[in-house]
């Protein structure tokens, strides 16, 4: 670096390794804004790695759980998990880090880990993993994670974008109604498309590479038929506004799709149809053997049920009628299709007996012509031609198809052609109709010439050409039907007033479907020419969307809330497993040929349930999450699932960069990159890793020193801001239903209602989820509004204390934080019950038991709430100077690091080595020749008893760092008349009892640290820096709430026997003169130092006279609990 950076006061830590977490903890305690980034989603899982297991046998995630929870609750720390680092660059202010947070689609502040989403998710991936999963209730952050991949190809290839994977999953799970709902979101004609769709989805199916594409269309049909009836979700939509309707002219697929979309968004819609019945091409163009009319009627009814009004037998003259329509309607969409048959353009086409396909079908379905017999030709080889041939065949005609292409090249669907051949339809391949010959104006023969494949065009299609020397052959037919396609219906119409018609007879429009006439749109075949049903529908929706957009003021939100689920387009699918068990595509059973004659019974019979489910289960679930949104209703209260979560790259300008996991940030170089990891060959020593993390935090602290406002001197008093316990008892009872994830019973409501009759219970309520922001706010509001002074909180929270044990969860801690921090609600006024763990878990198996447990536990808690004790509120004085004792290399680094970070340091020699050499820094005050005899006192207020050259002197400091190895540190004296005790500094080890859990560098005395912790192979410098940051972070930087768990000793009962002193590993207990003196030997009484006490209560169990007790769950409380659990008549 050529020039010193002017660093921003924040830190980015890459990698939540033990080192990264340790660094984050210390920086968080120092109040430095910190971002912790990791690839994984869950801190708990990350640290549960067996490599990090401590020598005591405890996995690190449990041992360091308080630290992990504090990271989540520290407002200075932001956890970006899971996330990837895109780039890291040096900048003048430090570093510019680009971070790509990976979406989890679940809000960590709102998720309650209730697990209902996981239960309801129908998807089970190939490896058995659900796309939404909960690692455990211990997850940190405590939220479910949804795995999504890019859009599955089936959906991408569907013009309507139907969520195929979604309904495959739901079908496989036997949840047909939901499956149908998923289909209907994008396709309002599921039963119809389940029969006649050209299913481009299947062509894209990744399973086709293996053992055949999924029979998607057939499954759709099954679902639609099975779950038919008015769809539940789309119950009669009420137009949001009684304004003018939108008119849709034409009730074919385009019009229906557009109408349904508009209706769903709250618009009144009227569909005008010139024929007697709605359906357009679906009714007047497609054979009932493929599309039974009952199905069509049902689908129309379903659309009507969504609020679409149909007006049939209403012809609108084009274009004149449009102007009038425009006056009565907010907009008009023309979806009249392309009804004209294409001509062959050969001689004799106007003979009687020669007719276009659609023209005939139209008359046939209207009932105008239903008798065709004799030898008939169908000219053409597309789907329409085959359909026509089969319709004619069913009337008893002898049908021959005259095809341009060879039999293997025809463009119609293979199954459609196959069905026709099976039904006995003859097929003349490779001949082109060159004319019709007749007699008396009636057809007699069709003249054809042989064709051969021509040169392939750009798409690879070899369009047939007439074999040059072939001769014309006359084929005798009584009637011939030209089925070579359609053109627009408006070819004869002149353009006027913005109404333009193309030479293909199509209505001209811009790319958004707007015609030249104001407010008139065109969609579907009328604009694009003939396509498939699904494309026509897609076009209808596209234009409908544009209409909505154009009608400003009708923005989304009027109708059904539509969640646009997002997918990460860069996340690819898992590869199709090599060992995927082979399972052939299920073949749809069909009506036997002999039973198809002279009737229009549906040929394809549909799947039975077993077939449908097993076929749907073949789906590879390419996109992982199917986006079926089945999880949304169960999370309605919490609103934690956000399928539309969008993540953007975060550009973080940071002053300091700590790399704890080199894989997270390859390539960044520079002296000022703080690295908190060892060489790759280093054995995983979790304590060394933590020391590296502490040391990294220390270096960060030094780099940021110019911003660090350091407390200096002493005398600041921190008064715990606790509201205390009001004498007036006004009890509020809150039972958290945990989103009903384990169920809820009316009996519990009845129990709560019963409580309301007690005089001092002023509020009783079951809340849906207590730990969500709304839940917490609701509790706080209730306390304030009703002046509650005692709370019974029945949720999953086990204690109201400012205390984290290895079983605490994100949900518990955030509820406690929300309830107690900055709200004026005292922890001492709350009686907590782990309702979830102790009661609700029984509900599913035995409701009566659960209700009786509920009554018992609530009643007991109310009784206890009346007897709650206030927590003591100690006021403390603090000194912000640190003493460093000894002059080992590590001690000197510790002193220097603190000094450079802006702390004042006093340096002394140790008992054996008087101080002779000190680092040169203006913040270090060295006492040459001094040697420390003893250390007494407590964090924030230690006394260093030294022997200086001029005699004994005592210094007051806030923190102490010992340079000597632990075997030498028998210098701590909690009382002048008692021998110094050996401070515990060893780390816990399996089967070696007596050592409390400590972080490396720490000792059993809070505020007293070791610069050179033994048994950890790492540099002296790292150790010294680690000790420095430990000491710095231990300095108070804000008021502390009173700790209800500290033991309090009743002076009148204390016998001063000292058993408690021996029981306390933290030296939290000392003796003071109790005033009962006979002038010879004073009596002593034990006192507990609130700053050192950890609340374990080991002293309580050895006290002979009941003098020691904890205000939280004291002896009386425990005895009452036992009594209530055991005595006759009590229920628990």
441 binds other proteins (CB under 8 A): no
The H or E element that residue 464 is part of is strand 462-466
Q: From CA 957, how far away is CA 944, in angstroms rounded?
A: 7
1095 binds other proteins (CB under 8 A): yes
Minimum separation from the CB atom of position 1047 to other proteins (A): 10
Residue range at the interface with other proteins (CB under 8 A); choices 196-204, 891-899, 964-972, 1065-1073: 1065-1073
Residue 342 · residue 487 · CB < 8 Å = yes
Binding other proteins (rule: CB under 8 A), the pick from 6, 75, 92, 136 is 136
Tell me which residues in 955-974 interact with other proteins (CB under 8 A): none
Nearer to other proteins, 136 or 350 (CB): 136
137 binds other proteins (CB under 8 A): yes
Residue 159 · residue 534 · CB < 8 Å = yes
Helix 164-172 to helix 216-226 angle (10° resolution) is 60
Nearer to other proteins, 556 or 992 (CB): 992
Binding other proteins (rule: CB under 8 A), the pick from 805, 917, 949, 1017 is 805
Please report where in the chains the tokens 């009872």 appear, as a residue: 733
Binding mask 807-836 for other proteins (x = CB under 8 A): x--------------------------x-x
In the chain, DSSP finds a helix count (H) and a strand count (E) of 33, 45
- CA torsion, ordered 611, 613, 618, 621, to nearest 10 deg: 160
Q: Name the H helices within 475-559.
A: 525-528, 533-550
Q: From CA 745, how far away is CA 1109, in angstroms rounded?
A: 38
The CA distances from residue 1005 to 940, 962, 1065, 1092, in Å, are 12, 12, 9, 7
Nearer to other proteins, 754 or 1132 (CB): 1132
Tell me which residues in 499-538 interact with other proteins (CB under 8 A): none
Binding mask 159-188 for other proteins (x = CB under 8 A): ------------------------------
Tell me which residues in 983-1002 interact with other proteins (CB under 8 A): 984, 988-997
Minimum separation from the CB atom of position 140 to other proteins (A): 13
45 binds other proteins (CB under 8 A): no
Tell me which residues in 56-115 interact with other proteins (CB under 8 A): 56-59, 62
1081 binds other proteins (CB under 8 A): yes
Q: From CA 432, how far away is CA 472, in angstroms rounded?
A: 10
138 binds other proteins (CB under 8 A): yes
Please report where in the chains the tokens 């020593």 appear, as a residue: 685
1106 binds other proteins (CB under 8 A): yes
Strands 905-908, 882-885: pairing is parallel
Binding mask 579-608 for other proteins (x = CB under 8 A): ------------------------------
Residue range at the interface with other proteins (CB under 8 A); choices 55-63, 482-490, 713-721, 923-931: 55-63
1131 binds other proteins (CB under 8 A): yes
Minimum separation from the CB atom of position 44 to other proteins (A): 11
Minimum separation from the CB atom of position 1012 to other proteins (A): 21
1074 binds other proteins (CB under 8 A): yes
Residue 1098 · residue 1089 · CB < 8 Å = no
The H or E element that residue 14 is part of is strand 11-14
Residue 640 · residue 112 · CB < 8 Å = yes
Per the structure block, which two tokens stand in for 643? 């399928």
1094 binds other proteins (CB under 8 A): yes
Strands 375-379, 924-926: pairing is unpaired
Buried b (16+ CB within 10 A) or exposed e, 472-492: eeebebbbbbbbbbbbbbbee
Nearer to other proteins, 57 or 577 (CB): 57
Tell me which residues in 268-287 interact with other proteins (CB under 8 A): none
1072 binds other proteins (CB under 8 A): no
Binding other proteins (rule: CB under 8 A), the pick from 399, 799, 884, 911 is 799
Minimum separation from the CB atom of position 862 to other proteins (A): 18
Residue range at the interface with other proteins (CB under 8 A); choices 175-183, 328-336, 504-512, 804-812: 804-812
Minimum separation from the CB atom of position 86 to other proteins (A): 35
Residue 1067 · residue 1004 · CB < 8 Å = yes
Binding other proteins (rule: CB under 8 A), the pick from 645, 838, 847, 889 is 838
Using a 10 angstrom Cβ sphere, with 0-12 exposed, 13-18 middle and 19 or more buried, the burial of residue 398 is middle
Q: From CA 125, how far away is CA 168, in angstroms rounded?
A: 12
Widest CA span in the chain: 147
Binding other proteins (rule: CB under 8 A), the pick from 40, 453, 1055, 1087 is 1055
Binding other proteins (rule: CB under 8 A), the pick from 145, 1054, 1088, 1091 is 1054
Q: What is the DSSP annotation of 836-892?
A: HHHTGGGTTT-HHHHHHHHHHHHHHHHHHHHT--PPP---EEEE--EEEE--SHHHH
Binding other proteins (rule: CB under 8 A), the pick from 438, 721, 773, 1083 is 1083
Nearer to other proteins, 58 or 346 (CB): 58
Minimum separation from the CB atom of position 158 to other proteins (A): 41
Strands 876-879, 830-834: pairing is unpaired
Q: From CA 968, how far away is CA 1048, in angstroms rounded?
A: 32
Minimum separation from the CB atom of position 595 to other proteins (A): 54
Nearer to other proteins, 84 or 1132 (CB): 1132
Q: From CA 38, how far away is CA 17, in angstroms rounded?
A: 8
Per the structure block, which two tokens stand in for 1095? 């609340």
837 binds other proteins (CB under 8 A): yes
Binding other proteins (rule: CB under 8 A), the pick from 9, 48, 363, 933 is 48
1071 binds other proteins (CB under 8 A): yes
Binding other proteins (rule: CB under 8 A), the pick from 313, 849, 949, 1014 is 849
Nearer to other proteins, 62 or 718 (CB): 62
Minimum separation from the CB atom of position 981 to other proteins (A): 11
Nearer to other proteins, 231 or 1056 (CB): 1056
Q: Name the H helices within 1036-1079.
A: 1059-1063
420 binds other proteins (CB under 8 A): no
Nearer to other proteins, 34 or 1110 (CB): 1110
Minimum separation from the CB atom of position 1001 to other proteins (A): 17
727 binds other proteins (CB under 8 A): no
Contacts (Cβ under 8 Å, ≥6 apart) of 434: 346, 347, 447, 448, 449, 466, 472
721 binds other proteins (CB under 8 A): no
Nearer to other proteins, 140 or 303 (CB): 140
Tell me which residues in 880-939 interact with other proteins (CB under 8 A): none
Residue range at the interface with other proteins (CB under 8 A); choices 146-154, 725-733, 785-793, 1074-1082: 1074-1082
Count the site residues for other proteins by CB under 8 A: 91
Per the structure block, which two tokens stand in for 605? 């019979």
- Least Cα distance to 908 among 882, 881, 926, 922 occurs for 926
Please report where in the chains the tokens 């979806």 appear, as a residue: 335
Binding other proteins (rule: CB under 8 A), the pick from 798, 873, 934, 948 is 798
Minimum separation from the CB atom of position 137 to other proteins (A): 5
Q: How many CB atoms lie within 10 A of CB 675?
A: 16
Q: From CA 59, how far away is CA 63, in angstroms rounded?
A: 6
């Amino acid at each position: 670096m050529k020039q010193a950076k002017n660093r921003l006061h924040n830190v980015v830590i890459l990698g939540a390794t033990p080192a990264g977490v340790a660094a984050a903890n210390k920086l968080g305690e120092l109040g430095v804004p910190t971002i912790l980034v990791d690839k994984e989603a869950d801190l708990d899982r990350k640290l549960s790695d067996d490599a990090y297991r401590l020598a005591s046998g405890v996995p690190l995630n449990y041992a360091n759980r308080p630290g992990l929870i504090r990271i989540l609750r520290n407002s200075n720390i932001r956890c970006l998990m899971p996330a990837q680092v895109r780039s890291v660059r040096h900048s003048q202010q430090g570093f510019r880090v680009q971070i790509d947070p990976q979406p989890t689609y679940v809000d960590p502040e709102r998720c309650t880990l209730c697990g209902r989403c996981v239960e309801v998710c129908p998807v089970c991936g190939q490896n058995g993993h659900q796309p939404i999963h909960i690692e455990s209730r211990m997850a940190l952050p405590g939220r479910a994670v949804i795995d999504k991949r890019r859009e599955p190809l089936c959906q991408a290839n569907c013009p309507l974008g139907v969520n195929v994977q979604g309904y495959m999953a739901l079908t496989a799970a036997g949840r047909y109604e939901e499956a149908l709902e998923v289909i209907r979101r994008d396709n309002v004609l599921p039963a119809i498309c389940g029969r006649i769709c050209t299913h481009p989805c299947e062509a894209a199916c990744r399973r086709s590479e293996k053992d055949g594409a999924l029979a998607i269309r057939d499954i759709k049909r099954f679902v639609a038929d099975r779950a038919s009836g008015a769809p539940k979700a789309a119950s009669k939509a009420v137009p949001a506004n009684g304004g003018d309707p939108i008119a849709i002219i034409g009730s074919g697929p385009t019009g229906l799709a557009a109408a349904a979309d508009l209706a769903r968004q709250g618009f009144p819609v009227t569909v005008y149809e010139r024929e007697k019945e709605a359906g357009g091409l679906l009714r007047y163009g497609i054979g009932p053997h493929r599309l039974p009319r009952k199905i069509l009627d049902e689908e129309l009814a379903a659309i009507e049920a969504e609020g679409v009004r149909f007006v049939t037998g209403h012809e609108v003259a084009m274009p004149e009628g449009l102007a009038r329509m425009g006056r009565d309607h907010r907009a008009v969409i023309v979806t009249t299709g392309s009804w004209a048959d294409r001509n062959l353009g050969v001689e004799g086409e106007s003979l009687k007996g020669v007719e276009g396909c659609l023209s005939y079908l139209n008359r046939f379905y209207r009932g105008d012509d239903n008798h065709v017999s004799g030898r008939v030709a169908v000219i053409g080889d597309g789907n329409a031609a085959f359909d026509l041939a089969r319709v004619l065949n069913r009337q008893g005609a002898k049908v021959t198809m005259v095809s341009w292409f060879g039999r293997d090249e025809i463009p119609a669907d293979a199954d459609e052609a196959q069905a026709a051949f099976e039904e006995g339809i003859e097929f003349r391949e490779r001949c082109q109709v060159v004319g019709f010959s007749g007699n008396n104006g009636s057809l007699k023969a069709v003249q054809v010439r042989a064709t051969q494949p021509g040169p392939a065009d750009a798409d690879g299609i070899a369009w047939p050409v007439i074999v040059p020397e072939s001769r014309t052959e006359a084929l005798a037919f009584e009637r011939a039907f030209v089925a070579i396609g359609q053109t627009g219906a408006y070819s004869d119409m002149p353009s006027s007033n913005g109404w333009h018609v193309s030479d293909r007879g199509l209505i001209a429009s811009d790319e958004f479907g707007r015609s030249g006439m104001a407010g008139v749109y065109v969609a579907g075949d009328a604009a694009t020419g003939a396509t498939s049903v699904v494309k026509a529908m897609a076009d209808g929706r596209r234009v409908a969307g544009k209409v909505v957009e154009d009608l400003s003021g009708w923005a989304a939100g009027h109708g059904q809330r539509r969640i646009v689920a997002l997918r990460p387009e860069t996340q690819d699918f898992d590869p199709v497993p090599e060992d995927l068990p082979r399972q052939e595509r299920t073949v749809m059973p069909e009506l036997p040929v002999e039973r198809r004659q002279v009737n229009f019974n549906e040929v394809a019979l549909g799947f039975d349930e077993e077939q449908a489910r097993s076929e749907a289960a073949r789906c590879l679930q390419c996109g992982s999450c199917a986006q079926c949104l089945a999880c949304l209703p169960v999370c309605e209260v919490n609103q934690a699932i956000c399928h539309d979560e969008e993540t953007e790259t975060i550009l973080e300008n940071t002053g300091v960069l700590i790399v704890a996991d080199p894989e997270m940030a390859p390539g960044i170089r520079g002296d000022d990159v703080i690295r908190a990891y060892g060489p790759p060959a280093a054995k995983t020593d979790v304590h060394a890793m933590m020391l590296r993390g502490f040391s990294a935090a220390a270096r960060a602290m030094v780099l940021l020193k110019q911003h660090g406002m350091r407390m200096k001197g002493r005398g600041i008093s921190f008064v715990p801001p606790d509201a205390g316990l009001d004498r007036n008892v006004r009890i509020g009872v809150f039972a958290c239903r945990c989103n009903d994830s384990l169920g809820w019973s009316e009996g519990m409501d009845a129990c709560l209602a019963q409580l309301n009759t007690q005089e001092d219970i002023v509020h009783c309520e079951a809340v849906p989820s207590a730990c969500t922001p709304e839940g917490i706010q609701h509790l706080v509001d209730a306390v304030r509004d009703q002046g509650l002074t005692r709370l019974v909180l029945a949720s999953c929270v086990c204690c109201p204390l400012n205390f984290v044990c290895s079983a605490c969860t994100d949900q518990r801690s955030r509820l406690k934080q929300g309830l107690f921090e900055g709200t004026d609600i005292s922890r001492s006024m709350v009686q907590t019950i782990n309702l979830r763990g102790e009661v609700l878990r029984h509900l599913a198996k035995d409701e009566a038991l659960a209700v009786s447990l509920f009554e018992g536990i609530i009643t007991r808690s109310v009784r206890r709430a009346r007897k709650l004790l206030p927590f003591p509120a100690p006021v403390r004085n603090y000194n912000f100077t640190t003493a460093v004792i000894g002059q080992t290399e590590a001690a000197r680094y510790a002193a220097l690091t603190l000094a450079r970070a802006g702390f004042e340091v006093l340096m002394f020699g140790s008992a054996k080595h008087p101080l002779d050499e000190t680092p040169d820094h203006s913040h270090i005050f060295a006492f040459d020749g001094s040697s420390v005899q003893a250390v007494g006192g407590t964090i924030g207020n230690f006394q260093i008893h030294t022997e200086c050259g001029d005699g004994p002197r005592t210094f007051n400091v806030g923190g102490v760092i010992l340079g000597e190895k632990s075997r030498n540190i028998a210098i701590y004296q909690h009382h002048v008349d008692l021998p110094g005790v050996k401070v515990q500094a060893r780390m816990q080890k399996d089967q070696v009892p007596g050592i409390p859990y400590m972080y490396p560098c720490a000792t059993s005395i809070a505020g007293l640290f070791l610069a050179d912790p033994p048994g950890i192979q790492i540099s002296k410098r790292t150790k010294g820096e680690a000790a420095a940051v430990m000491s710095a972070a231990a300095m108070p930087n804000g008021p502390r709430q009173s700790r209800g768990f500290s033991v309090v000793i009743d002076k009148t009962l204390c016998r001063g026997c000292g058993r408690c002193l021996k029981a306390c590993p933290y030296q939290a207990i000392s003796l003071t003169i109790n005033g009962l003196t006979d002038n010879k030997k004073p009596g002593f009484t034990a006192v507990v130092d609130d700053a050192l006490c950890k609340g374990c209560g080991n002293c309580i169990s050895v006290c002979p006279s009941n003098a020691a007790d904890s205000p939280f769950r004291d002896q009386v409380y425990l005895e009452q609990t036992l009594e209530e659990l055991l005595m006759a008549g009590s229920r628990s």
